[in-house]
Amino acid sequence: MVSVMMQFSLLDRRPEETCLELLHQNNIGVLARGSLAQGLLVDKSPAPYLGQGPETVGSAANAVGALSGGERTGVQTAIQFVLHHPSICSAVTGIRTLQQLEEAATTVDMDSLTIEEINTLKAAIPAGKYTDHR
């Protein structure tokens, strides 16, 4: 299988616009980077990100937090969101602590997000569109 790497997260859904489905149709896997959006989805204060204001970033982080707790952490929810698309074969995350490593490593052993949970996360923030290079 051929693979490519691209940025993809709840805060950067631009690849959903056209890339992910096209890659999936052509059996090209995606190694997703930026799954936690520099930590903005899980443990950092809202800040501007890719043209989105702090309020939008905060809404996305709140949606991740609302679906987390108990059996799944925010890190795991954010990574599971990325892994839900069939073209994504792996998610790369930044690791600074042993706890972050353990959370990321156990994500694949968890139940996937449900369609309802995916839709809840998507509803929290509009999908981005590529505006440059058109």
For 82-96, write each residue's pLDDT tens digit: 999 999 999 988 887
For 2-123, CATH number out of 3.20.20.100, 3.40.50.2300, 3.40.30.10, 2.40.50.100 equals 3.20.20.100
| Contact (Cβ atoms closer than 8 angstroms) between residue 125 and residue 60 | yes
Q: What is the DSSP letter of 48?
A: -
Q: How does DSSP assign 99-119, residue by residue?
A: HHHHHHHHGGGSPPPPHHHHH
Question: CB atoms < 10 A from the CB of 76, how many?
Answer: 22
- CA 70, 71, 75, 78 dihedral sign is negative
* β-bridge pairing 88-92 and 2-7: unpaired
- pLDDT of the residue at 29: 94
CB atoms within 10 A of CB 69: 10
Q: What is the reported pLDDT for 113?
A: 95
**Residue 28 belongs to what H/E stretch?**
strand 28-33
pLDDT of residue 70: 84
pLDDT number for residue 97: 81
- Please identify every stretch of the chain with a pLDDT value under 70, giving residue numbers as ranges: 1, 128-134
pLDDT for res 134: 43
Tokens of 32: 């997703």
